Amino acid sequence: MENDDLDTKLNKREKYKARLRPYEYFKEFESLDFENLGEGDRFYLQDFGIFNTDFLEDEFTMRLRVAGGRLSSEQFILVANVVQTYDLTMLLTSRGGIQLHNLEANNILEIWKALNTHGLSTWQSLGDNIRNIVSDPYDGCGKYSKIETYPIIAQMQEFILKNPRYLGMLPRRVSIGISGNSANVVSFFANDIYFALAQKDGIYGFNVYMGGKNTNTAQDADIFLKESEVFNFFKAFVEAFYLHGSRYSRSKTRLIYLIEDIGMDGLKAHIQTEYKKEFQGAGELLLDKVSFCEYEELKDGTYSFCYHTDFARIDSDEIREIADFASTNNLEIRIGMDQNIYLLGLKEKSVPFTSLKKSSTVVACAGNLCPYAVWSIKDETSYIPLDKIDEHQIQVGFSGCAKGCGRHCHTDIGLIGLKTNNFGDTDGGARIFLGAIHTQGATTGRMIFSMVPFVHLNATLCLIIELYEKSGYKDFQEYAYNVLNKFSEGFLALWYLANLETKQSLELKVDNNPALDSTESFEFEKNLLLSNFKDLESLQDIDDKFFDTLSKLVKKLWTVAGEDPNYKPPIQRNKFR
Ligand code: SF4
C-alpha cells in the first residue's frame, strides 16, 4: 500500500501525533486555555496526566505515577496538602497509582505544578504510554520475595519518562507488571507484559507473559530472563512496539491484537531484532495462591500492616494520619494493586488506626467519579454481601462499565454495573462473572449472568457464596477449578435460579461429569437439573439448549412486580453529579 493511503487510515490520535509530537506540544502547555480545550488538547493532555472529556468539560482528573507503589511519607503528605487545599477527591487506582478528581480549569495548572515536584510525577500516567509500572506490595521484603524488582522498575521508568521518542508516541497504552515474589496479593496477568518469578538452572529470574488486558490473560511467551536482562528486554520491547504496533483502527491497537495479527513468534522476532540476543526458553513458574492477613511478618522480622481503603477512596485526614505515623516510626509506605495501603517495618503488630470497611479483597474502578460509570460500588455497598466476601477472602473485581478497569475477569467474582430495562423500571443491574483461575493466569472468569437487577444482586451473590461454603473448599479459586468450571455457564445460571425459585441452596457436586465440549455434556446437565428440581415447572420445557428456559426464568423471578414482562421503559443515565 502507498504511504499516502496508509496515512489516511491512521486513527484520529495518530493523525495528531503525526502532525505534532506530544514532546513538542508540551512547549505550549503553560499557555493553554483550559476552559476552551479542543479535541487535540484533550488527547495531548493525557500524556501529562490530565483527563477531561468534551461532555463534562469543566471537570478534570489528574493521575500520578507511583512506581512499584512506593512513595515516601513526605510525598504522601504533599499529596494530602493538595487534596485538602483544593478540596479534591482522591482514589488509589487498580494499578497502584493515585488519581485526583474534581479539579477545575482554573486550578489545574497550579495543581499539576505542585504535584510534579519532590520526585512525584504525573507524566505518561494516561494516554499512549508505558503506564505506571506495578509490583507486589511485599516486593523485596515479604517472606515470598526472591528478587526485589524495584530497582528494575526505577530503571524502566527513568528510561521512558519524558523520552521524546516514546512520550505519548506508542500505538497504545502498555501496562507492565513485574513481581519477584512466589505469591502475590493480586494477579498480574491482566498486564500487557508480566514478568513473573521463575527459576531456570537453579537461577531465579522471570518468565515473560504478553498480551494481557482487563478482559484477557497474558500468554506465555516462552522466554526466561535473568534479573540483569529484564531492562534490556524492556527497552527492546518498547522500540519493537513503537515500530510495529498497529496505528490504524483504535480498537485493534493494544499489544494483544499485534499478537493476534503476527503471532507470539512474530512479536518475539521483532523484539529480538532490537534485543540482539537469543532468548532462552521459559523456566519453571514460581507462583502460589496465598491469602494475606492484615498483619504479615516480613523477612527481617518486622511486620507490615494493610490499611483497607474505602473502595479505593481515601481522604486527606487519613493520608496525613498514615503518613505521620509512618514518618515517626520510620515505616515504608506502599500502595497495592488491591487499592490498599501497606505500612512496612513495624516493630510489633499494632497501629493506632483501624480500617473502616470490609473491602480488602474488593478492587473497584473509579465508579461514579468516572464519566463512563453507570453504577458505583463505593456508594451502593448494600448490593454486595461484604461480610461474607471478607470472611472467605473472596477476590472481587468491580467495573462500573464494560471497559473493565476493576479487572472483573481476573477475580473470583467479577461484576460490571450496567443499565437495563429488561425487567421493567429497575435502577440497573450487574453482570456476574465466575471461575477465573487468576493466580496462574490460566483462565478469565466466565459470564454466568448477563444481568441481575440490583435489588436481587445481594441474594444471588449470597447463594453463590453459600454453595461454595457447602462444598467444603477453603479457597474460592480452588472451588471454581474443581466444581464451577466443570459445568457450562447456562447450567450454572439455571442451577442458581432454580435454587432461588425454590428457596433452597442445593449443593453442586461433580460426579463423573463428561467433558464440557463433549456431545454428552448437555444431556448430562439437563438430567441433573430435572432430577434435582423435579417439581419445578419452569425447567420442564428445556429442549436442546438452556437459553430459552434461562431467559424465561430470569424474567419470571426478576421482573418488577405488576409489570408486563415485555414492557421496556426508556433507560435513564445515572445522574451522579
Ligand atoms: S470501568 Fe468504566 S466506569 Fe470504571 S473507571 Fe473504567 S471506564 Fe470508568
Which residue lies with its CA nearest to atom 6 of ligand 1?
A: 405
pLDDT in tens, 98-152: 999 999 999 999 999 999 999 999 999 999 999 999 999 999 999 999 999 999 9
Please indicate, yes or no, whether residues 366 and 492 belong to a single structural domain of this protein. yes
Q: Are residues 188 and 273 in the same domain?
A: yes
Domain boundary among 255, 285, 315: 285
Q: Distance from CA of residue 366 to its chain's centroid?
A: 11
- Report if residue 546 sits inside a domain: yes
213: cell is 488486558
Judge if the beta carbon of residue 366 lies within 6 A of ligand 1: yes
> Is the dihedral angle over the CA atoms 468, 469, 471, 474 positive or is it negative?
positive
Residue showing cell 490498599: 340
Would you call 89 helix, strand, or coil by DSSP? strand
Cell of 49: 496526566
Q: What is the pLDDT of residues 292-326, one digit of tens each?
A: 999 999 999 999 999 999 889 998 899 999 999 99
Closest ligand 1 atom to Cα of 417: 3
Check: CB of residue 76 under 8 Å from CB of residue 333: yes
Distance CA 21, CA 40 (A): 11
Kindly tell me the burial class for residue 380, based on how many C-beta atoms sit within 10 Å of its own C-beta (0-12, 13-18, 19 or more). middle
Query: What are the backbone dihedrals phi and psi of residue 408, each rounded to the nearest 5 degrees, phi first?
Result: -65, -20
Q: What is the pLDDT of residue 402?
A: 86
One-letter-per-residue 3-state SS of 319-359: HHHHHHHHHHCCCEEEECCCCCEEEEEECCCCCCCCCCCCC
Domain that holds residue 378: 362-558
The confidence band for 576, taking pLDDT boundaries of 50, 70 and 90, is: very low
Q: Give me ligand 1 centre to Cα 416, in Å.
A: 9
Contact status, residue 373 vs residue 415, Cβ threshold 8 Å: no
Q: Ligand 1 pocket: which of 61, 365, 418 to mutate (most atoms <8 Å of CB)?
A: 365
Distance CA 60, CA 34 (A): 10
What percentage of the chain exceeds 90 in pLDDT? 82
Taking the centre of ligand 1 as the mean of its atom positions, its distance from the CA of residue 365, in whole angstroms, is 6
Is pLDDT of 562 > 80?
Answer: no
Q: Is 405 in the pocket of ligand 1 (CB under 6 A)?
A: yes
Task: Judge if 386 and 278 occupy the same domain.
Answer: no
Residue 300 within a domain: no
Residue the block writes with cell 448494600: 382
Question: Helices 73-85 and 108-115 sit at what angle, rounded to 10 degrees?
Answer: 170
For residue 341, is it within any domain? no
Is 73 part of a structural domain of the chain?
Answer: no
Same domain, 537 and 390: yes
Q: 258 and 366: one domain?
A: no
400 lines ligand 1 (CB under 6 A): yes
**Is the CB of residue 373 below 6 angstroms from any atom belonging to ligand 1?**
yes
pLDDT at residue number 571: 58
- Of 52-61, 360-369, 502-511, 561-570, give the range with the top mean pLDDT: 502-511
CATH code of the domain in which 504 resides: 3.30.413.10
Domain co-membership, 436 together with 534: yes
Cα(51) to ligand 1 centroid in Å equals: 13
List the single range of 128-142, 422-436, 488-502 with lowest mean pLDDT.
422-436
- Radius of gyration (C-alpha) of the chain in whole angstroms: 25
Q: Are 513 and 495 in contact (CB under 8 A)?
A: no
CA of 309 from ligand 1 middle (Å) equals 19
Write out the three cell numbers for 304.
507490615
pLDDT reading at 2 higher than 70: no
- For residue 373, which atom of ligand 1 is closest to its CA? 3
Residue at which a domain ends, from 263, 285, 307: 285
- Rounded distance from Cα 62 to ligand 1 centre (Å): 15
User: What is the number of the ligand 1 atom nearest to the C-alpha of 371?
Assistant: 8
The finding on whether 417 has its CB within 6 A of some atom of ligand 1 is no
Query: Residues 64-90: what's their mean pLDDT?
Result: 95
Asked if 66 contacts 56 with a C-beta cutoff of 8 angstroms, the reply is no
Ligand 1 pocket member 404 (CB < 6 A)? yes
Q: Whose Cα sits closest to atom 4 in ligand 1? A: 400
Per the domain annotation, does 483 fall within a domain? yes
Residue 52 placed within a domain:
no
* 13, part of any domain: no
- Whose C-alpha lies nearest to ligand 1, atom 2? 401
What is the Å distance from ligand 1's center to 46 Cα? Answer: 16
Cβ–ligand 1 distance for 322 under 6 Å, the answer: no
Residue 479: inside a domain: yes
Question: Of 261, 285, 309, which marks where a domain is finished?
Answer: 285
- Picking from 104, 283, 118, 310, the residue whose alpha carbon sits closest to that of residue 198 is 283
The Cα 552–Cα 15 span in angstroms is 49
Number of domains within the chain: 2
pLDDT at 354: 83
CB 454 within 8 A of CB 430: yes
Whether residues 505 and 367 fall in one domain: yes
Mean pLDDT of the chain, nearest integer: 93
Establish whether residue 174 lines the binding site of ligand 1, counting it when its CB lies within 6 angstroms of any ligand atom: no
